[in-house]
Each structure stands twice: as structure tokens, then as C-alpha cells.
Amino acid sequence: MNRDLIQNWAELHWKSTKPEITEGVLGCNIVPENADVQSVTLTRVEPKGKFSIHTDDYNHVFLFLQGKGEGQLGEDSYDIRPGMIVRVPAGHPHGYGNTGDSNLVLLTINYSEI
């Protein structure tokens, strides 16, 4: 089996994501660097970890896969649960945190408008 094509997410190389505004948030870009998309990152947030409220100059789509937490999108807060999809427009304040006892795992897709 070609280990570059098929992997378990536990085997990926996880690294700290934006440590200046996060606590306990690790990510792994799962799309090759030369792909025609800004980034697709599998993100793992440790219990009590958080991604502080901030803005970016690109859009996001968050697909929450496991765990639970609380998110902030502009003035609105929401409960995070598996299967939830959140779209964040560029320049819109957003953040999230893990409120559970196990990892919060999500797929983060960053993109720019064409």
C-alpha cells in the first residue's frame, strides 16, 4: 500500500496552528502544497483549547467531525456538534473552543473568491 495516498489521521504530522491566537490547536494540511486551493487542514483542538476571535482576509468552511464546543461568528455564538458546517466570510470575526473532555476535530478549508 502506498502510505502517501492512504493514512489514518493519527499518523499525520501535527503542528501548532497560529500559536499567537490559539491554545491547544494543532493542524495538518492534507492537500498537497501545489494544489489549486489555499489550504485544507485537518484541525485538532485539545480539551479546553481554543482559537481566539479574529479575522482573516480569506474565507473559511469548517466541517466539524467529532467532539463538542462553542463557536463565535460575528455577534452570534453557536454550539458545535459533529456534522455541522460553518461558512465564514473573509473579514468576519470568528473563533471556537473545545468544551468537551476529548479532542474537537474539524476540517478547515481556506479559500479566496475568484
Task: Give which of 66, 23, 13 is closest to 48, Cα–Cα.
Answer: 23
Give the mean pLDDT of 11-28: 88
pLDDT at 1: 47
Q: What global pTM score does this model have?
A: 0.80
CA distances from 34 to 29, 31, 75, 110 (A): 12, 8, 36, 15
Instruction: Name the residue ranges covered by the structural domains of the chain.
Output: 9-111
Among 49-58, 66-75, 91-100, 104-113, the least confident range: 104-113
Tally of CA atoms within 13 A in the half-sphere of 109 that contains its CB: 13
Taking each continuous run of H as one helix and of E as one strand, the counts in the chain are 0, 9
- pLDDT exceeds cutoff 80 at 104: yes
Cβ distance 53 to 95 under 8 Å? yes
In angstroms, the CA 89 to CA 43 distance is 19
User: Mapped to the 3 state alphabet, what secondary structure does 17-53 carry?
Assistant: CCCCCEEEEEEEECCCCCCCCCEEEEEEEEEEEEEEE
Return the higher-pLDDT residue of 88 and 37: 88
Residue 55's nearest CA partner among 18, 110, 93, 88 is 93
What CATH fold (topology level) applies to the domain 9-111?
Answer: Jelly Rolls (2.60.120)
